[in-house]
Amino acid sequence: MRDTLVIEGGHPLFGQVTISGAKNAGLVLMAASIMADGETILDNVPRIRDVEVMIRILNDIGVKTDWNEDGSLSICPPPGGVKNQTSYELAKLLRASNLFLGAMLGRQGEAIISMPGGCDIGTRPMDLHIKGLQALGADLELEHGYIYAKVIKSNAARIYLDFPSVGATENIMMMAAKTPGQSIIENAAKEPEIVDLANFLNFMGAKVRGAGTDIIRIEGVNELKPGRYAIIPDRIEAGTYMIAAAISKGEVLVQNIIPNHLHPIVAKLQEAGAAVHETDQGIVVKAGDKILPVDVKTLPYPGFPTDMQSQMMALLSLAEGSSMIVENVFENRFQIVDELKRMGARIKVEGHTSVIEGVESLYGARVKATDLRAGAALILGGLVAQGETVIENAGYIFRGYENIREKLTALGARLK
Ligand code: UD1
Residue 171 sits in the same domain as residue 213: yes
Distances (CA, A) of 407 to 67, 72, 245: 21, 20, 13
Residue 246 sits in the same domain as residue 160: no
Quick check: CB of 11 below 6 Å from ligand 1? no
Residue 186 sits in the same domain as residue 239: no
Query: 61-70, 75-84, 188-197, 251-260: which range is least confident on average?
Result: 75-84
**Residue among 99, 100, 123, 124 to mutate when testing ligand 1 (max atoms within 8 A of CB):** 124
User: Across-strand partners of 112?
Assistant: 85, 148
> Looking at residue 175, which CATH number applies to its domain?
3.65.10.10
Quick check: CB of 50 below 6 Å from ligand 1? no
pLDDT greater than 60 at residue 118:
no
**Mean pLDDT, residues 241-261:** 98
pLDDT band of residue 2 (cuts 50, 70, 90) is low
Q: Which residue has its alpha carbon closest to ligand 1 atom 32?
A: 165
226 is a domain residue: no
Residue 290 sits in the same domain as residue 302: yes
227 is a domain residue: no
Residue 81 sits in the same domain as residue 160: yes
Of 200 and 117, the one with more pLDDT = 200
Quick check: CB of 30 below 6 Å from ligand 1? no
Residue 168 sits in the same domain as residue 198: yes
188 in Cβ contact with 181 (< 8 Å)? no
Q: Which residue has its alpha carbon closest to ligand 1 atom 35?
A: 165
Residue 196 sits in the same domain as residue 249: no
Q: Which residue has its alpha carbon closest to ligand 1 atom 39?
A: 167
Residue 103 sits in the same domain as residue 161: yes
406 is a domain residue: yes
Q: What does the pLDDT look like over 219-229, one tens digit per residue?
A: 999 999 999 99
**Mean pLDDT, residues 12-26:** 98
Instruction: Give CA–CA dist 41/227, Å, rounded.
Output: 6
Is 76 catalytic? The answer is no
Q: Which of 221, 248, 276 is the last residue of a domain?
A: 221
Residue 127 sits in the same domain as residue 238: no
- The percentage of residues in the chain with a pLDDT greater than 70, rounded to a whole number, is 97
264 is a domain residue: yes
pLDDT band of residue 344 (cuts 50, 70, 90) is very high
**Number of separate domains in the chain:** 2
Amino acid at residue number 197: L
131 is a domain residue: yes
**Mean pLDDT, residues 227-251:** 98
199 is a domain residue: yes
Atom number of ligand 1 nearest to Cα 170: 38
Task: Specify the pTM.
Answer: 0.96
Expressed in angstroms and rounded, the spacing between residue 169 Cα and the centre of ligand 1 is 10
313 is a domain residue: yes
- CA angle at 170 for the pair 169 and 175, rounded to the nearest 5°: 100
Expressed in angstroms and rounded, the spacing between residue 312 Cα and the centre of ligand 1 is 20
240 in Cβ contact with 380 (< 8 Å)? yes
Q: What does the pLDDT look like over 56-78, one tens digit per residue?
A: 999 999 999 999 999 999 999 99
192 is a domain residue: yes
pLDDT greater than 80 at residue 146:
yes
Expressed in angstroms and rounded, the spacing between residue 187 Cα and the centre of ligand 1 is 14
Of 67 and 144, the one with more pLDDT = 67
Q: Which of 198, 221, 244 is the last residue of a domain?
A: 221
Instruction: Give CA–CA dist 323/336, Å, rounded.
Output: 16
Quick check: CB of 301 below 6 Å from ligand 1? no
Residue 283 sits in the same domain as residue 140: no
Residue 55 sits in the same domain as residue 31: yes
Q: Write down the pLDDT at residue 115.
A: 80
Residue 143 sits in the same domain as residue 95: yes
Quick check: CB of 383 below 6 Å from ligand 1? no
Domain containing 27: what range? 23-221
pLDDT greater than 80 at residue 327:
yes
Q: Which of 166, 195, 221 is the last residue of a domain?
A: 221
